[in-house]
């Protein structure tokens, strides 16, 4: 059930990152750091597969945005901000795959 919540959370965070990526370098850095820290925190938790669901939602949303718009233009340009988001997607894929290993922090007793 938690995985069903992590998937749309990842999607919402990615959509927010796409919406603010043109607002300046500081805002873009905040969006990237928020995405990566959330995925890493989920990865280090007791259920690391939640990170995989979060990353899947994030990368799938970015993939849909990168596919282009019906008018023929793009929502993400080929500039520093756009390439930063694409690089973040690669890091999210790596964190998602790492979450599949199932080795999280041991449960505290």
32 vs 101, more confident: 32
pLDDT tens sequence across 83-109? 898 899 999 999 889 888 766 555 554
DSSP structural state of residue 19:
H
* pTM summary value: 0.84
Please answer whether residues 76 and 66 qualify as being in contact, where contact means their C-beta atoms are separated by less than 8 angstroms.
Answer: yes
Nearest alpha-carbon partner for 7 in 68, 50, 64: 50
Mean pLDDT of the chain: 85
Alpha-carbon gap, residue 24 to 88, rounded angstroms:
16
For residue 28, pLDDT over 80 is answered with yes
Nearest 10 degrees: CA dihedral of 79, 8, 38, 56? -70
* 2 pLDDT tier (thresholds 50, 70, 90): confident
Of residues 81 and 101, more confidence is placed in 81
Question: If DSSP codes are grouped into helix, strand and coil, which group holds residue 64?
Answer: helix
């Amino acid at each position: 059930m938690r995985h069903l919540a992590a998937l749309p959370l990842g999607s919402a965070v990615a959509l927010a990152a796409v919406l603010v990526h043109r607002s300046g370098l500081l805002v873009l850095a905040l969006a990237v750091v928020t995405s990566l820290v959330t995925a890493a925190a989920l990865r280090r938790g007791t259920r690391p597969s939640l990170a995989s669901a979060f990353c899947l939602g994030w990368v799938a949303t970015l993939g849909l945005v990168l596919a282009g718009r019906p008018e023929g233009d793009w929502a993400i340009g080929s500039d520093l901000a756009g390439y930063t988001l694409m690089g973040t997607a690669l890091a999210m894929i790596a964190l998602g795959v790492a979450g599949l290993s199932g080795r999280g922090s041991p449960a505290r007793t």
